Structure 1
């Protein structure tokens, strides 16, 4: 069964990742879909992308959640909505497989699948993808970073998420106050209704990773900051893993302070740190395809904990950095922003 589908792509400014995403979306094996682009400012598409099935809604500086709500509410006649990030691109059967599963399983309100490292990713981005395949970085959702077996799950990433119109209308959309984690919040609400979330191994998206060092660190600071807001809204057993980095730091500092106060030898805290480092090294090795990737993958795991902890501490003390600047993922060659005159009222797609 096929239904009309809208592909929703929020972004800040035009870049090569976005053009790659558009190109692969246009090649999808699906009979009826429309692509909606949601930039901060007016943009101009190259001639090869000026098709009737691509629209632009200029949103201004809004959260990703707010941009997606605008797009979905604008296309009220669509049967399904497929969410993808501007730095990702879909497999040719992405929509076909995802919509078919939703159509055949009405108790499933959200379906997604692997969001995996592109095959041609450079080394410093590939090792970040390796790290995200481990439980230490991605928690219970680590299976979504590789071609894992299909299963029911507690949550899915919004870089690869397909919803029915009914599900969106019932839930009332995304929480627009969340800068990150709007996908986890939505999935929490799906479970609260008693409906299912399904990970389908054949609903594949290729997702470019941040590059190791600074870009990945800034991304993890953003995630850490956002996880505090998610936990305050819905603290449940599925979201406990969000606090793993902060909990690890707390345990280590508590042990360290105890040994300092008791004039101990610091042996226990050193053993604690060594065991955790060894576990991280084993997980890094399991995720790597070559020996040269292991030390960099281990570094990415440690950097994840550093960044996430910094972000959570900043949120807990009420400090909010420029999260949008931290979070943005662009390739080295950024295409300059070019203005195209929009027709109709502000916020309407060009004719």
Structure 2
């Protein structure tokens, strides 16, 4: 796999981030990026899985460079935390994300932006951010986001690694300081996360879907990912990769699995089974954009269901009994015509479920002080359950198909 890397100028980046790449002036940095992105872009940015293992040797060793007279930049202290952002095609959102990170105070940190088969416009935004000596930019061919994050982890020299999605941003300039303080206070803490909240300036439909995601009736134990709950011990069900910090040694012991989505569920379940301490802190939160339409929202819920299937196939430790509830609902609805024909009373569970959905939707609308949401929530709540179940089934089917294809290739290697 062809990998190219650019690091910000000065000895501070070589000593602080100790990541691969050569020091460039701003003009050379932009020129290098444009030469790289002149190649045909990868067909898919973040949803494709190349199936190729990414070796740390693919990145050349860093070459230290003294701060020259024309550098014009202050050296940065050795970072205690590295923020990893994987970028592909979100131009304006990446700019907002990086702006919120670079505004942080009270902690020494670095930023590693991984251009994962990125658009040219995204590379330009990253090049602009790399004028800051704390920022390092890497460009790689398109792989899964998990593989891209693993590249950054392999070259991180800070004790802590913080994963932030390119369409999320930090709420204030003390967000990273709170993360670091939590790890300082608890030497046994391996992973820390918190909720990703709907941005205040998102449209009304985004606030509706964000509130629904934060409802326990809609998403079960994963509701804590979308609304604050009490701080305390956590599992993979409460934590999410768009806002997740971990000690580097924990990530080096077990890399993120190469599949996508659901990779963090598998990794966190494994770490917890080994006795590693995972924690949830409502003060460690980010703002994260929601989907702009109900159709896109349901598609994303289906995406979550597929990720759960991938995680369960990777490790049984990612199983929770409530994950089977949407699947049971889907099977029941498919069999309902036959069941009710055989015995009309078998329609009773469906009626009870629908009544519960109406009451739950009413409660969500009232707590949000949005009574106008009720007509939409009444049907969107069961639709959320079904979309998750369909995604789960499609994930199982896709994995079975891939496994069958691999078996055929192993039998007919010359095909």
Alpha-carbon spacing, 1:238–1:312, altered in 2? closer, same or farther (3 Å): closer
- Equivalent residue for 2:245, pick from 156, 162, 166: 162
Rounded to whole Å, the distance in 2 between the matches of 1:18 and 1:195 is 32
1:57 and 2:133 equivalent?
A: no
1:218 and 2:299 equivalent?
A: yes
Deviation at 1:247, TM superposition (A): 1.8
Rounded to whole Å, the distance in 1 between the matches of 2:165 and 2:242 is 5
Partner of 1:141: 222
Rounded to whole Å, the distance in 1 between the matches of 2:281 and 2:126 is 33
Q: Can you list the C-alpha shifts for 1:98-123, whole angstroms capped at 9, x where unaligned?
A: 11111221221001112111111101
3-state DSSP class of the match of 1:203?
coil
Alpha-carbon spacing, 1:283–1:107, altered in 2? closer, same or farther (3 Å): farther
Conserved? CA contact 2:309–2:392, under 8 Å: yes
Deviation at 1:90, TM superposition (A): 1.0
Rounded to whole Å, the distance in 2 between the matches of 1:208 and 1:297 is 20
Partner of 2:368: 288
Rounded to whole Å, the distance in 1 between the matches of 2:249 and 2:312 is 27
Partner of 2:105: 29
Alpha-carbon spacing, 1:287–1:224, altered in 2? closer, same or farther (3 Å): farther
Partner of 2:396: 316
Partner of 1:258: 339
- Listed as ranges, the gaps of 5+ residues in structure 1 are 322-351
Alpha-carbon spacing, 1:320–1:10, altered in 2? closer, same or farther (3 Å): farther
TM-score, normalised with respect to structure 2 = 0.70
Structure 2 matches for 1:1-351, cutoff 5 A? 4-39=80-115, 40-41=117-118, 43-45=123-125, 49=129, 50-75=131-156, 77-91=157-171, 92-155=173-236, 156-170=239-253, 172-176=254-258, 178-236=259-317, 239-262=320-343, 264=344, 267-285=347-365, 287-318=367-398
Moved more, 14-23 or 281-290: 281-290
Rounded to whole Å, the distance in 2 between the matches of 1:266 and 1:24 is 54
Alpha-carbon spacing, 1:165–1:144, altered in 2? closer, same or farther (3 Å): same
Conserved? CA contact 2:365–2:372, under 8 Å: no
- Give the superposed CA RMSD: 2.5
- Listed as ranges, the gaps of 5+ residues in structure 2 are 1-77, 402-415
Rounded to whole Å, the distance in 2 between the matches of 1:79 and 1:169 is 11
3-state DSSP class of the match of 1:22?
helix
Higher RCO (CA-CA < 8 Å; seq separation 6+):
1
Deviation at 1:285, TM superposition (A): 2.5
Alpha-carbon spacing, 1:59–1:298, altered in 2? closer, same or farther (3 Å): farther
Rounded to whole Å, the distance in 1 between the matches of 2:377 and 2:187 is 40
Deviation at 1:233, TM superposition (A): 2.4
TM-score, normalised with respect to structure 1 = 0.82
Rounded to whole Å, the distance in 1 between the matches of 2:183 and 2:369 is 34
Alpha-carbon spacing, 1:31–1:316, altered in 2? closer, same or farther (3 Å): closer
3-state DSSP class of the match of 1:194?
coil
Conserved? CA contact 1:231–1:239, under 8 Å: no
Higher Rg: 2
